């Protein structure tokens, strides 16, 4: 069977079926392009690095706060001890202590307090050095973060512009699709949809030099020789798709797609 049971003498240009197919395939390719654009590896690797830097920054800031708390605590402690030393020394030099033992005890206490304070001061100094290092690291991380954020936003802007261009093309193609569909009689459209779903998106081809363009197979001459009417849609006996007789107009479809 090389015919579909379409009602006779539809006077629409059957090439529109091939055009519709070309439009739909182009729309699909363009939609894939958008997916590819959005999978931008450079952008995702930079976003990953930004996440790492943010984590590092959080840790560094936490470390800084902890060191500062410790340093402050020690400074408070040293302050209390200094006050004690001051008071004891006042007492020592006030001339009110008469007992030698009491004097010695007090002198001893001052000595211990001074040693302890010196130890505290050394530790505070160590903390301050550590704090300076952490602050330096924080500064570097913040600078890197800022650069990365700039880079990411410029990549996103660039990507957005590219996506927008493709989206514009898709919407122009959709407009063209609607126009083309409006020309094609309903029964052809139904067959087209049915075959498209059954045959991996290709519903229609053409017969050229005895070959079906959709399945690339040679149709037996006995059958292909009967396919001569330019206005008719035949059925490829090999793949079952719709085919029409080749004409030059068909070659122009892909150019037409490029210009949309």
**Residues 224/241, Cβ–Cβ less than 8 Å:** no
Site for Zn ion in 167-206 (CB under 5 A): none
SS3 127: helix
Report the nearest approach of Zn ion to the CB of residue 239 (Å): 3
Measure the CA–CA gap between 234 and 224, rounded to whole angstroms. Answer: 10
Looking up tokens 């330019």 gives: 230
- In terms of C-beta density within 10 A (0-12 exposed, 13-18 middle, 19 or more buried), how is residue 207 classed? buried
Neighbours of 39 (CB within 10 A): 9
Q: Which stretch binds Zn ion (CB under 5 A): 26-34, 97-105, 138-146, 237-245?
A: 237-245
Taking the complex as a whole, the smallest distance from the CB of residue 217 to Zn ion amounts, in Å, to 6
**Nearest to Zn ion of 14, 236 (CB atom):** 236
How far CA 84 is from CA of 120, 122, 167, in Å, comes to 15, 19, 77
244 part of the interface to Zn ion, by CB under 5 A: no
Our CB check for Zn ion shows the closer of 67 and 195 to be 195
Q: Where does this chain touch Zn ion (CB under 5 A) — which range of 6-14, 31-39, 164-172, 208-216?
A: 208-216
Is residue 18 near Zn ion by the rule CB under 5 A? no
C-beta of 79 vs 220, nearer to Zn ion: 220
Rule CB under 5 A: say whether 20 interacts with Zn ion.
no
Residue among 242, 249, 233, 237 nearest 204 (CA): 242
| Residue closer to Zn ion (CB basis): 113 or 243 | 243
Nearer to Zn ion, 117 or 232 (CB): 232
Can you list the alpha helix ranges (DSSP code H) found in 15-99? 15-38, 41-94
Instruction: Pick the binder of Zn ion from 170, 195, 239, 250 (CB under 5 A).
Output: 239
Comparing CB distances to Zn ion, the nearer of 110 and 212 is 212
Backbone phi and psi for residue 255, each to the nearest 5 degrees, phi listed first? -60, -40
The site string for Zn ion over 209-228 (x = CB under 5 A, - otherwise) reads: ---x-xx-------------
Rounded to whole angstroms, the Cα distance separating 43 from 21 reads 34
- One of 57, 92, 152, 238 touching Zn ion (CB under 5 A): 238
**14 vs 113 by CB, closer to Zn ion:** 14
Q: Which stretch binds Zn ion (CB under 5 A): 7-15, 150-158, 172-180, 239-247?
A: 239-247
Report d(CA 209, CA 246) in Å as an integer: 9
Q: What residues line the site for Zn ion (CB under 5 A)? A: 212, 214-215, 236, 238-239
């Amino acid at each position: 069977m090389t015919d579909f049971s379409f009602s006779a003498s539809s006077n629409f240009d059957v090439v529109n079926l091939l055009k519709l197919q070309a439009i739909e395939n182009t729309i699909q390719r363009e939609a894939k392009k958008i997916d590819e654009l959005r999978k931008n590896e450079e952008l995702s690797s930079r976003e990953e690095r930004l996440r790492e830097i943010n984590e590092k920054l959080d840790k560094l800031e936490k470390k800084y706060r902890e060191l500062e708390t410790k340093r402050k605590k020690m400074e408070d402690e040293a302050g209390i001890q200094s006050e004690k030393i001051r008071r004891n020394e006042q007492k020592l030099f006030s001339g009110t202590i008469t007992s030698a033992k009491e004097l010695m005890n007090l002198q001893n206490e001052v000595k211990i307090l001074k040693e302890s304070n010196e130890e505290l001061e050394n530790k505070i100094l160590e903390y301050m050095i550590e704090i300076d290092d952490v602050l330096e690291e924080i500064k570097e991380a913040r600078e890197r973060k800022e650069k990365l954020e700039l880079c990411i936003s410029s990549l996103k802007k660039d990507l957005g512009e590219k996506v927008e261009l493709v989206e514009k093309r898709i919407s122009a193609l959709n407009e063209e699709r609607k126009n083309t569909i409006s020309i094609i009689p309903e029964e052809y459209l139904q067959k087209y949809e049915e075959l498209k779903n059954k045959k991996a998106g290709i519903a229609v081809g053409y017969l050229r030099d005895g070959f079906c363009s959709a399945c690339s197979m040679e149709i037996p001459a006995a059958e292909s020789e009967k396919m001569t009417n330019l206005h008719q849609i035949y059925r490829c006996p090999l793949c079952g798709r719709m085919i029409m007789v080749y004409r030059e107009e068909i070659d122009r479809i892909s150019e037409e797609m490029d210009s949309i």
